[in-house]
A and B are shown apart, each in its own frame.
Chain A
């Protein structure tokens, strides 16, 4: 392989593994690494081969870029999908990451569930609500098919809609905030280590 083809195949591999970044970011990184390889190969006693070896495998280099980016972007994002992906990455790193991941799943499930049942209330008014039995003990809540028997009475009526909507939204907001905070903390922690 000539020096040029060696450089090209390294840069192609780098570009490939930088996949999740935007095209502009990716091309900028590739351009910078290309300049680095050409400049260092011209230093006395250096060759393209040794320079590429010192850079390490393209895949590992790309991984270092991606790692920083995913968590950084996610700590500013509100999208559950982006946040969950970032917590999954965090979970791979240790016990506290796993805890954050499960809390995230739990928070989204509860919050999303509440909002969903609120929206179902106008469609299935008799099946949606919070039920207590005759002695005032909580029986169940949510959307039930069939609705609980005659000994149960629903306590909220149409108040269920705004209340579940508010409670669900607050849960989703709190979950988002908690994930973003833990991502920021982990980022700071990572950059110190």
Chain B
């Protein structure tokens, strides 16, 4: 009985860890999607799906955009579209661009360090396969 519970908890943990990892990256990814210019919410969602493996629950991105805007990293404007309803476009503010640069540098050096650390683990797996 006790053993079953442990196994279930162990199996559950990597999922939770991965979910948290993704969640942490969403904020940076949303900022990064706007690097080349303004996009509206659905475009950001599709951009992230196509350019990263960040498939999100679609409801997650809008509150995050709202928060990033409140923090002064994004601005937004309503633009009339052919679709018959206006769309809310987001763009990076100067603060947002600066923050994203810092995030990108931190992320890259962090992941480079971790990749080195994980190299032996991955090599061993390749050998087994």
Which residues on A are within 8 Å of B, measured CB to CB? 28-29, 31-36, 38-40, 42, 51, 54-56, 60-61, 64-65, 67-69, 72, 191-193
Which residues on B are within 8 Å of A, measured CB to CB? 20, 23-24, 27, 40-42, 57-60, 62-63, 66-67, 70, 78, 83, 85-88
Using CB atoms, name the residue of chain B closest to A191: B27
Whether the Cβ atoms of A39 and B88 lie closer than 8 Å is no
Give Cα A107 to B51, complex, Å.
50
Chain B residues, CB < 8 A from A29: 62, 66
Write the nearest CB–CB distance from B26 to chain A, whole angstroms.
10
Whether the Cβ atoms of A56 and B67 lie closer than 8 Å is no
Give Cα A32 to B40, complex, Å.
9
Whether the Cβ atoms of B88 and A54 lie closer than 8 Å is no
Whether the Cβ atoms of B59 and A60 lie closer than 8 Å is yes
Give Cα A33 to B86, complex, Å.
11
Whether the Cβ atoms of A35 and B87 lie closer than 8 Å is yes
Chain B residues, CB < 8 A from A69: 70
Give Cα A34 to B87, complex, Å.
10
A68-B63, A192-B24, A193-B20 known; A55-B58 Cβ under 8 A: yes
Interface centre among A35, A40, A65 (most CB of B within 10 A): A35
Give Cα A65 to B85, complex, Å.
23
Write the nearest CB–CB distance from A126 to chain B, whole angstroms.
53
Whether the Cβ atoms of A35 and B86 lie closer than 8 Å is yes
Chain B residues, CB < 8 A from A64: 59-60, 63
Specify which of B24, B70, B87 is in contact with A72 (CB 8 Å cutoff): B70
Give Cα A107 to B21, complex, Å.
37
Give Cα A191 to B67, complex, Å.
10
Chain B residues, CB < 8 A from A35: 40-41, 83, 85-88
Give Cα A20 to B36, complex, Å.
35
Whether the Cβ atoms of B87 and A39 lie closer than 8 Å is yes
Write the nearest CB–CB distance from A10 to chain B, whole angstroms.
11
Using CB atoms, name the residue of chain B closest to A28: B88
Whether the Cβ atoms of A31 and B63 lie closer than 8 Å is no
Give Cα A55 to B67, complex, Å.
18
Write the nearest CB–CB distance from A118 to chain B, whole angstroms.
38
Whether the Cβ atoms of A61 and B23 lie closer than 8 Å is no
Whether the Cβ atoms of B88 and A32 lie closer than 8 Å is yes
Listed A/B pairs (7) with beta-carbon separation below 8 Å:
A33-B62, A35-B85, A35-B87, A40-B42, A61-B62, A68-B66, A72-B67
Whether the Cβ atoms of A32 and B24 lie closer than 8 Å is no
Using CB atoms, name the residue of chain B closest to A68: B67
Whether the Cβ atoms of A65 and B83 lie closer than 8 Å is no
Give Cα A46 to B22, complex, Å.
25
Using CB atoms, name the residue of chain A closest to B60: A64
Give Cα A54 to B61, complex, Å.
12
Whether the Cβ atoms of B85 and A34 lie closer than 8 Å is yes
Give Cα A65 to B60, complex, Å.
10
Write the nearest CB–CB distance from B72 to chain A, whole angstroms.
12
